[in-house]
Amino acid sequence: MHYRSKSFGLKRILPVAVLAPLALANRSFGEQTNQAPVVDPAMVQKLVDRVDRQESEIKDLKAQLAIKEGTTPDAAMPPAPTYPNLQFHGFADIDYQASSRAGINNASGVVFNPPANHGGNSFFVGEFDLFAQSQLAEDISALSEIVLGAGATDNEWGLDIERVELQWHPSDYFNVDVGRFHTQMGYYNTAYHHGTWFQTAVGRPSFLEFEDSGGLIPVHTVGVSIHGAIPSGSMNLMYYVEGGNGLNYDPSRGNPVQNVTDNNNFKAINLALVAKPDWFAGGQFGVGAYHDTVTPIGLPRTDEWIWNTHIAYHGSLWELLAEGFLLRHEAAGSSATYTPMFYVQAGRKFGKFTPYARFTYYNASRNDMIYTTILNQGGLNYGPSVGLRYDFSAYVALKAQYDYVVQSGYKGANALTLQAAFTF
């Protein structure tokens, strides 16, 4: 069945309604004068044009009213969303590194960024990152990040599921993520994930490296994260409450993430508060505290605290980052030990070029048996990094970075890293 539009009927009915009296008058006049009735075609066209203009004006008025009331006119209603709505991205990097000390790697206690090779110089493939996110409903989504990478000691490819999350975000004030996620600890750990293309530098600050690359903090958590906005006016506060398995300190494996089973009944708890005030456009600052009771293999049960604070700014030209951490371990029957860690980083855009500099420092207490016997990271480790990023295209970045590392028990070491990072 076919229906005529309202405009079609209006265009036809209105001229007839207006012309009908004229036709009748002409008919009456014709009967008196024996003349045929006259209808002027030009007059009919003028009336039709007038109706068209009025319809156009009415349509414009409806649109203006809809905008004012915050609604959408029927003619401009967007199509209903369909689920699932899948988005896929990939990230990778190809690198070359030359160092002044052959045989350097994370296991020996010296951390370059990215991890240094075994020889004096080598080409290497960084992480191959496959990222997918799917909207399952209006307030439910799923996220996964699968990374393929080669081991520094065996040159063999391995696969890691770095993130897998089910996310329920019903409001600005209360959201729940469950699965394996990046712990809300400081700034860098959640601002930059596994694609080096996002980062200005070639890699992460040394103590923020991933657990299997020599990092010193729990970068990942397997558990639940509850977060949202706090009504706070122009301060724009955000809260985070997280709980999960924590880390397992193992002399043969370092500090692996506990994906399936926890080696004890204690759970790690992480709290964070972040502010993004209106007066600090492009910037944020925050504080946090992390606690777990760990049971290192071969060592006494240890109480673990990590306090952190950060400030970060990303403007149209400048990038300024600073973070500080203080890690406290207290093994049963022993005194507490403290490990301070911090970095500062600054970069400035000049068109497609971004020169940057970073200074990284940590001093792992030699009385901390977790660091000295399990992670082999005891002592002082610090040094500057300077580099240049060139955005070769919208999806390709070329980087060059020089690192100088000072570590207790070793001579100072130099490293030059060249990197091509890209997304697809």
pLDDT score of 14 more than 80: no
Q: Mean pLDDT score of the chain, rounded to an integer?
A: 84
pTM over 0.95: no
pLDDT at 18: 46
> Contact, 240 vs 225, CB < 8 A?
yes
Rounded mean pLDDT, 228-247: 96
Give the number of other Cβ atoms within 10 Å of residue 56's Cβ. Answer: 10
> Contact, 190 vs 376, CB < 8 A?
no
**Each residue's pLDDT tens digit, 366-379:** 899 998 888 878 78
Alpha helices by DSSP H, 285-373: 369
| DSSP result, 113-157 | SS---SSSEEEEE--EEEEEEEEEETTEEEEEEEEEEE-TTT--E
- Spell out the residues 6+ positions from residue 249 whose beta carbon is closer than 8 angstroms to its own: 255, 294, 296, 297, 299, 370, 374, 375
pLDDT at 21: 45
CA dihedral 248, 183, 187, 362 (to 10 degrees): -10
Give the number of other Cβ atoms within 10 Å of residue 344's Cβ. Answer: 16
Residue spans per domain, the chain: 6-76, 85-423
**Each residue's pLDDT tens digit, 105-119:** 433 333 444 444 445
Fold of 85-423: Porin (2.40.160)
Query: Of 162, 173, 333, which is closest to residue 259 (Cα–Cα)?
Result: 162
> Contact, 417 vs 397, CB < 8 A?
no
Higher-pLDDT residue of 46 and 322 is 322
Query: Of 232, 234, 321, 305, which is closest to residue 271 (Cα–Cα)?
Result: 305
Higher-pLDDT residue of 25 and 153 is 153
pLDDT score of 53 more than 80: no
**Confidence bin at 25 (pLDDT 50/70/90):** very low
Backbone angles phi, psi at 24, to 5 degrees: -65, -40
Q: Which amino acid is at 383?
A: G
pLDDT at 44: 61
At 235, list the tokens: 């301060």
pLDDT score of 80 more than 70: yes
Rounded mean pLDDT, 394-421: 93
> Contact, 404 vs 384, CB < 8 A?
yes
Q: Which amino acid is at 13?
A: I
pLDDT score of 208 more than 90: yes
